[in-house]
Amino acid sequence: MEAMQYNRENLADKLRAHGINPTHQRIEIAHALFSRCEHLSADQIMAIVNERHSETSKATVYNTLNLFLEKKLIREVIVDPNKIFYDPNTSAHYHMYDVESGKLTDIDAADIRVTGLPPLPAGMVTEGMDIVIRVRPADFLQQ
């Protein structure tokens, strides 16, 4: 994602542009995601937002993230059985997942071509294609 500077004002505009009423908590949650351009889980986001002093509840964090998803402001990334990651980057891209550390990094989709995919079943439409490359440190003997 481009090195865009996000502050509370342009985030409020961004929320409005997606049909989301920019409340204090929503702006803080958006700020947590967009200011650092990382993949965060719900509890990480809550920890960031409440770091200085309590600003939001667990229910609001989940409500808000689901609202953001629905309005396509963010995406969810499902690679870890334990938690969902929320991804502020909605441009076409895939992921590399370090199964050891849990670290998730983006792979730009621009250069990637996938050929030989079967046709979609009749009456179905694509929601999207996810590619995840699972990697681990090469240390030690492979088991």
Contact residues: DNA, CB under 7 A:
20-21, 23-26, 41-43, 54-60, 62-64, 66, 81-84
Contacts of 64 (CB under 8 A, 6+ apart): 25, 26, 29, 56
- Least distance in angstroms from the C-beta of 65 to DNA: 7
Answer yes or no whether residue 124 interacts with a second copy by CB under 8 A: yes
Residues in the interface with a second copy (CB under 8 A) total 38
Question: Is 86 in contact with 111 (CB distance < 8 Å)?
Answer: no
- Tell me the C-alpha distance between 33 and 25, whole Å: 13
* Residue 78 binds a second copy, judged by CB under 8 A: yes
- Which residues bind to a second copy, rule: CB under 8 A? 76, 78-81, 84, 96, 98-99, 107, 111-118, 120-121, 123-139, 142
